[in-house]
Amino acid sequence: QSALTQPPSVSGSPGQSVTISCTGSSSDIGRYNRVSWYQQPPGTAPKVIIYEVRRRPSGVPDRFSGSTSGNTASLTISGLQAEDEADYYCCSYTSSSTYVFGTGTKVTVL
């Protein structure tokens, strides 16, 4: 049950795009389309922003998009805004009937 691997931090200026990678294995990301992404602003509970790789819950801006390739999932934030500054976590359901989270990425808006 090793955590999925994410870069510790990414940054961009307002209006730019940033992409966060999330690397797992053939037992999780590579096996199912059961990848979700969570946004956690400081001092708050996480909130889902992407589920099933690329689907957005109602109310989440279409600036957020997701994809996968092999054992790696990616979250792209297009048109970065100040309010996007937060920690982001990927998550996958696994072949062991468990969930596993990523190590987390801090997004900084310059």
Partner 1 sequence: EVQLVESGGLVVQPGGSLRLSCEASGFTFDDYAMNWVRQAPGKGLEWVSLISWDGEDISYADSVKGRFTVARDNSKKSLYLQMNSLRPEDTAFYYCTKDKGWEFGYYSYYMDVWGKGASVTVSS
- Asked if 45 touches partner 1 (CB under 8 A), the answer is yes
> Site for partner 1 (CB under 8 A): which residue of 31, 47, 54, 56?
47
Tokens of 2: 């090793």
- Residue 45: CB minimum distance to partner 1, A: 4
> Site for partner 1 (CB under 8 A): which residue of 7, 25, 46, 78?
46
- Neighbouring CB atoms inside 10 A of 95's CB total 12
- Asked if 34 touches partner 1 (CB under 8 A), the answer is yes
Q: How does DSSP classify residue 17?
A: -
CA–CA separation, 26 and 24 (whole Å): 7
| Nearest partner of 64 among 45, 46, 42, 39, judged by Cα | 39
Nearer to partner 1 among residue 17 and residue 108 (C-beta): 108
CA–CA separation, 73 and 67 (whole Å): 6
- Asked if 7 touches partner 1 (CB under 8 A), the answer is no
Residues near partner 1 (CB under 8 A) are 1, 3, 32, 34, 36, 38, 40, 45-48, 51-52, 57, 87, 89, 91, 93, 96-104
